[in-house]
Each structure stands twice: as structure tokens, then as C-alpha cells.
């Protein structure tokens, strides 16, 4: 990279993805002459919380939890806040998380003590981890709170391996209010790099950028993880690099490669 300052926009689902890491992202990126802005693309509506409470109160029927995003943790915490006793038995159960952000918020908000699989990085890897390490230990279903657009990767893989997963939709995804205005404000200068954090972000951003397709054509595009990369490719968007993890250090490594 040259000494000329580059500008990058992190297109995230919400502040929970960068959250306390935002300053860390900015610090790491500034060290390689990159100016970082965060654009929150999505909002979330929590649903079926009464049903979630019923499942949590029936803790004896489950081996543990599968947590695939910070939003699932937030949904659980909403129930826990209103009914502390509903979650206490789950603190000692096994919990399987995707990514350090989900693990961090799960431990902080829910008090979970047995969190596994954090380094898996995506649903397929987490399912493989559970199958390889837990086949002989899980004699009851795993509870999987998820979004309405969640893929069936984990339930199918675990089902094929003889395990039971109970999915429950606990949040719905929608574009953030004022997104188009915020986007155009952020795009005051054509970004050198656009970073997409999730397939939902990809879908929403494509809709918003219908009248500004040159942004996708002229900026370098980086995907966070293989699933987001697949979503971009399916949308026929060129991908210049893929960050293995949603972490500043991993992103810096990719930016150095693509710039």
C-alpha cells in the first residue's frame, strides 16, 4: 500500500458486530493509512419471545444452545431480564457459538460457562465441530434461536448425524430507517473499499445501491467469511478478498492484499 490515505466503509448488520471493537477497527486500519467509517445497514425486530420463554422453562428437555449471532443472545437476554429463573439452568449447559463477538456477549449477558466452537467461524464448521466432538454427549435436542432468513445448514447436518435441533425464529431483519440517506452521506467520497459483514447486509445494500451501482464496480469489495462471499458472488458482485474472521487483524491482512 502507498502512503496515501484510503477510505473504507464497514457495512455491518448493526453496531453489535463492531460494537466495542469499533475503536479497535479504526486503530488497526489507521496504522495502514486507512480511514474507517461504520455504516449500520439493518435493524431487528424480536418475535416469539413467549414461545422462547416456554422453551427455556423446559430446560430439562434440552442438551444446550446453539448461538449463531449476537441477536440471538439479545433475544435470550430479553427473556432472561423479564424472568431470571427461566435461564438459570442453562448457564451450566453446553452452548455452541459462532464467532468471538457472539461468545463475548453470551458470557457477559447470559452468564454462560460452557461455551464451545467459537473459532468455527461459520455454520458449516460449527456443525462439523459438534458432530466430531459431541456425538456421544448430546442425548437431547439442541435449541437454536435464529432469524427468519436463517439457512438450514446446522439442523440438516446435525440431523444427518443423528442429532436433533429445534429451530425457533426469534428475530426478523429489516433495513435500518434512514439507511439510504445515511449511505449517501457516507458515500460523500467514493470508498476505496466496501466491507460486507453478512448475506443480509449484501441483499439490503444491493437494493439501496440500485441507482449507484458504480460504487460496487469501482470500489474494492471484501466479504467477511465464506457465506457472505457466496452471497456476493450469487449477486454477481466481484469479490476482491475474503476475511476469514470478523476481526480487525484479519481484515487488515486482506486489505493489504487487495490494495
Q: Which single residue is written with the C-alpha cell 449507484?
A: 212
Q: What pTM was estimated for this model as a whole?
A: 0.77
Shared domain check, 243 and 207 = yes
Angstrom distance (rounded) from CA 161 to CA 255: 38
Cell of 31: 496504522
Average pLDDT over residues 161-173: 95
Angstrom distance (rounded) from CA 70 to CA 62: 21
H helix intervals, the chain: 15-18, 22-30, 49-57, 70-82, 100-105, 123-134, 153-160, 179-186, 199-208, 214-218, 226-234, 248-258
Q: Which domain holds residue 86?
A: 45-173
Would you say residue 59 lies in a domain? yes
pLDDT of residue 4: 63
Helix, coil or strand: residue 162? coil
Q: How many domains does the chain have?
A: 2
Cell of 182: 445515511
pLDDT at residue 136 tops 50: yes
Shared domain check, 71 and 36 = no
Shared domain check, 160 and 81 = yes
Helix, coil or strand: residue 113? coil
Shared domain check, 152 and 192 = no
Last residue of a domain, one of 140, 173, 206: 173
Tens digit of each residue's pLDDT (9 = 90 or more) over 88-127: 899 999 999 998 888 999 999 999 999 999 988 789 999 9
Angstrom distance (rounded) from CA 8 to CA 36: 5
- C-beta contacts of 57-62 below 8 A and 24+ residues apart: 57/83, 57/86, 59/89, 59/90, 59/93, 60/89, 61/140, 61/141, 62/93, 62/140, 62/141, 62/142, 62/143, 62/166
CB 244 within 8 A of CB 226: no
- The overall average pLDDT reported for the chain is 89
Would you say residue 1 lies in a domain? no
Tens digit of each residue's pLDDT (9 = 90 or more) over 37-56: 888 899 889 999 999 999 99
Would you say residue 122 lies in a domain? yes
pLDDT of residue 18: 46
Shared domain check, 94 and 152 = yes
CATH number where 240 lies: 3.40.50.10090
Amino acid at each position: 500500500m502507498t502512503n496515501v490515505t484510503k477510505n473504507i466503509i464497514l457495512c455491518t448488520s448493526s453496531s453489535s458486530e463492531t460494537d466495542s471493537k469499533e475503536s479497535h477497527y479504526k486503530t488497526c486500519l489507521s496504522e495502514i493509512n486507512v480511514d474507517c467509517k461504520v455504516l449500520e445497514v439493518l435493524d431487528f425486530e424480536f418475535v416469539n419471545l413467549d414461545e422462547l420463554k416456554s422453551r427455556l422453562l423446559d430446560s430439562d428437555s434440552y442438551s444446550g444452545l446453539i448461538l449463531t449471532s449476537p441477536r440471538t443472545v439479545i433475544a435470550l437476554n430479553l427473556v432472561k431480564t423479564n424472568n431470571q429463573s427461566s435461564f438459570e439452568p442453562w448457564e451450566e449447559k453446553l452452548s455452541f457459538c459462532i464467532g468471538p463477538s457472539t461468545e463475548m456477549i453470551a458470557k457477559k449477558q447470559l452468564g454462560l460457562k460452557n461455551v464451545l466452537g467459537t473459532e468455527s467461524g461459520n455454520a458449516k464448521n460449527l456443525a462439523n465441530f459438534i458432530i466430531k466432538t459431541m456425538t456421544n454427549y448430546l442425548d437431547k435436542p439442541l435449541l437454536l434461536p435464529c432469524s427468519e432468513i436463517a439457512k438450514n445448514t446446522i439442523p440438516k447436518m446435525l440431523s444427518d448425524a443423528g442429532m436433533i435441533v429445534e429451530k425457533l425464529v426469534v428475530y426478523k431483519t429489516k433495513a435500518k430507517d434512514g439507511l439510504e440517506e445515511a449511505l449517501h452521506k457516507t458515500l460523500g467520497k467514493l470508498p476505496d473499499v466496501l466491507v460486507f459483514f453478512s448475506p443480509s447486509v449484501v441483499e439490503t445494500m444491493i437494493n439501496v445501491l440500485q441507482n449507484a451501482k458504480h460504487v460496487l464496480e469501482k470500489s474494492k469489495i471484501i466479504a467477511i467469511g465464506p457465506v457472505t462471499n457466496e452471497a456476493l458472488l450469487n449477486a454477481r458482485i466481484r469479490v476482491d478478498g475474503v476475511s476469514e474472521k470478523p476481526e480487525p487483524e484479519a481484515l487488515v491482512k486482506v486489505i493489504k492484499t487487495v490494495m
